[in-house]
Structure 1
């Protein structure tokens, strides 16, 4: 069978998956209206039955087919064909996961777990954020600039929720479901009362990081509000702090970010950043957590674990701008990615101890860049060791009101 015919039939999925119906296949897609890929190891709570001619292909032939598909998928959203391969059956999914590399290695985003993995080392992944003031939502898209059809490039979405003493940004994989009871929930960003300090929470524990579970239990949800499948915890992985501007001095905001889940050694030569390979298991109605008291409803109690900060956590600081005499404003070289002056614009670089002997070029390397290009459109470029989720959460902190920092 010609290779093009194989790809064409993969897209159709009408008669090649045995007893799995087309409805079942669509059920594995991440909300096809807002996402263009699937999570073969997180969304499907069961193993698909291996039947039909596609599941019975020889492993050598199957490996060659998926490798050729992956090599031909270089642009977005063309990599949906790679995702179709992973959604056929278990054997296809396992081989696809072996072939598809992490963003750090290939610079491409394929599966949802890629959004939790560090970006590429050489060139940044370029994205943009679109703000909707009426709904208080913020959508992260893949690409240089907005296009006519943005639904197939959506990466992450966040909703701003104002509370009496803080502000929360709930981060999800889709733009129409921000419930923590959903399997699309990834984490949140929470501010203090003044909006000068933010904490980033992740729904899964950082890899190779110390977690301390507290014994405090809180009744946060009623039984009727919570799905039986729900992430058990929120893990504090980073803090973003803005410097107070009590004297009202001229200049942009000053901020620094402590990434507790990433060691500073990750930016040293030969260093590596934590790279999750799958989403965590959720609380199931047939299982119980050891932290939940006996006789209590599993869906009504949740513990609040605390991430023990690494001895040498990665610290990011905003790159100091220079004063332009002719323009009479503070300037940074955004390399054409930012076109509108705004107090929200910033570039983050690593703040390291000189005793660590990290090359100067690495210290000046921009890890995260955020800036305005339109009324409600901002660019976001990130690279190693930050992930798309971490970078998006840091940028969301810039949207909250900060009267004490202006």
Structure 2
């Protein structure tokens, strides 16, 4: 009798699981009524929605259409162009893709001193006081030998073990050299660097579906500023994943299509950093020799002396209103030969407009995530450079 009851319960559970799976496949895989619309009609409807919703917050309708079912999502992905071509940030993956080619994408950063957190917003208007569209958040974590900035897609969940984890920024002991780590491989065969910080207490356990590794994608160096507090800091940014040819005619920068949720192969790794700061110091300083290795290198645009103000100035075209050593404009450094017109174009500019409010404008070939990480490196006090 007991065996019959167990068999009946098992058969009922199998039937329930089968029905639940079938209903989910129908809703997600194209079995719902909305997915049965003629493809030509559906294409025209979604194309008109994409054309009409050119900015946030109205652009959330495009994202909503992508969530109806699988067929709608496939069409939306085909219609929506990458930021490099459209100049629009639509889906979360847009923050990992290169910005527009012909104009600076205007963003701003808000700082919360009490919680040591930073929030990146896309500017919705030309005003410096608008609400903005939230893009990324970062939290500062001080350690005995370095400083970490954990970058996340969610403002409420900023941790390396979160599904929203995007990457991190790590400094050396003096805060003069930084490395930007991506949470997923920027290209096939990328090397993963494991840090002991992921095993420290008070950090969430990494989900099996989230890549637990960190891929070095950029190196930032601050040098001695001969102008002192009267001029911007001297910076060099070596972009590991962007070739120097990307800024030239016909040049291309790598574009990630989606966030990866595959497990990371632990065999693909470089030596783990232990408690000694020397290993981390060597890693952070090694790639900063700036040899002619084909990588894109960003450097400060030289300031000009303003006779009336009696100070060194940069033209931010009204986007910066407060003088600060943190303010900077980055341009591409010529690899060989004289600088051309492409080396005069500002790729990233960052500046202060209030006590805890800063503007961040960027364009191709860097992404919002890369620009945000570079700007975060400017917040640390650098006694050795000033």
Give TM-score scaled by structure 2 length.
0.81
Other-structure match for 1:130: 110
* SS at structure 2 position matched to 1:399: coil
Gaps of 5+ in 1: 1-18, 25-45, 293-303
1:187 maps to which of 167, 185, 191 = 167
The verdict on how the C-alpha distance between 1:193 and 1:263 changes in structure 2, with shifts beyond 3 A counting, is same
2:320 maps to which of 338, 349, 369 = 338
The alpha-carbon deviation at position 226 of structure 1 amounts to 3.2
Aligned length: 343
The verdict on how the C-alpha distance between 1:271 and 1:47 changes in structure 2, with shifts beyond 3 A counting, is farther
2:82 maps to which of 102, 116, 133 = 102
Instruction: Determine the C-alpha separation between the residues in 2 that align with 1:138 and 1:145.
Output: 20
Q: Say if 2:159 and 2:204, in contact at 8 Å, map to a contact too.
A: no
1:399 maps to which of 373, 379, 384 = 379
More helix by share: 2
Moved over 6 A (4+): 214-219, 221-224, 306-310
Other-structure match for 1:50: 30
Instruction: Determine the C-alpha separation between the residues in 2 that align with 1:236 and 1:275.
Output: 16
The verdict on how the C-alpha distance between 1:167 and 1:290 changes in structure 2, with shifts beyond 3 A counting, is closer
Gaps of 5+ in 2: 1-19, 269-279
Q: Say if 1:181 and 1:229, in contact at 8 Å, map to a contact too.
A: no
Mapping of residues 6-405 of structure 1, within 5 Å: 48-143=28-123, 144-145=126-127, 147=129, 149-150=131-132, 153-207=133-187, 211-212=190-191, 220=199, 225-245=205-225, 251-283=231-263, 289=265, 291=267, 311-355=293-337, 360-405=340-385
Instruction: Determine the C-alpha separation between the residues in 2 that align with 1:47 and 1:277.
Output: 24
Q: Say if 1:321 and 1:332, in contact at 8 Å, map to a contact too.
A: yes
Instruction: Determine the C-alpha separation between the residues in 1 that align with 2:227 and 2:354.
Output: 30
The alpha-carbon deviation at position 233 of structure 1 amounts to 1.2
Q: Say if 2:244 and 2:294, in contact at 8 Å, map to a contact too.
A: yes
The verdict on how the C-alpha distance between 1:375 and 1:99 changes in structure 2, with shifts beyond 3 A counting, is same
Q: Say if 1:238 and 1:261, in contact at 8 Å, map to a contact too.
A: yes
Q: Say if 1:232 and 1:282, in contact at 8 Å, map to a contact too.
A: no
CA RMSD of aligned residues (A): 3.0
Instruction: Determine the C-alpha separation between the residues in 2 that align with 1:129 and 1:379.
Output: 6
* SS at structure 1 position matched to 2:384: coil
Deviations 1:249-273 (A, max 9, x none): 8532111100011000101110100
Which structure: larger Rg? 2
Deviations 1:14-55 (A, max 9, x none): xxxxx99xxx9xxxxxxxxxxxxxxxxxxxxx9924332101
Q: Say if 1:245 and 1:404, in contact at 8 Å, map to a contact too.
A: no
The verdict on how the C-alpha distance between 1:272 and 1:289 changes in structure 2, with shifts beyond 3 A counting, is closer
Instruction: Determine the C-alpha separation between the residues in 2 that align with 1:251 and 1:381.
Output: 20
Q: Say if 1:104 and 1:384, in contact at 8 Å, map to a contact too.
A: yes
The verdict on how the C-alpha distance between 1:71 and 1:349 changes in structure 2, with shifts beyond 3 A counting, is same
Q: Say if 2:152 and 2:165, in contact at 8 Å, map to a contact too.
A: yes
Deviations 1:106-147 (A, max 9, x none): 100000111111011111100011111011111011114455
Deviations 1:47-80 (A, max 9, x none): 9243321011111111111101000011112110
The verdict on how the C-alpha distance between 1:115 and 1:247 changes in structure 2, with shifts beyond 3 A counting, is closer
Instruction: Determine the C-alpha separation between the residues in 2 that align with 1:129 and 1:350.
Output: 23
Instruction: Determine the C-alpha separation between the residues in 2 that align with 1:390 and 1:224.
Output: 24
Q: Say if 2:193 and 2:213, in contact at 8 Å, map to a contact too.
A: no
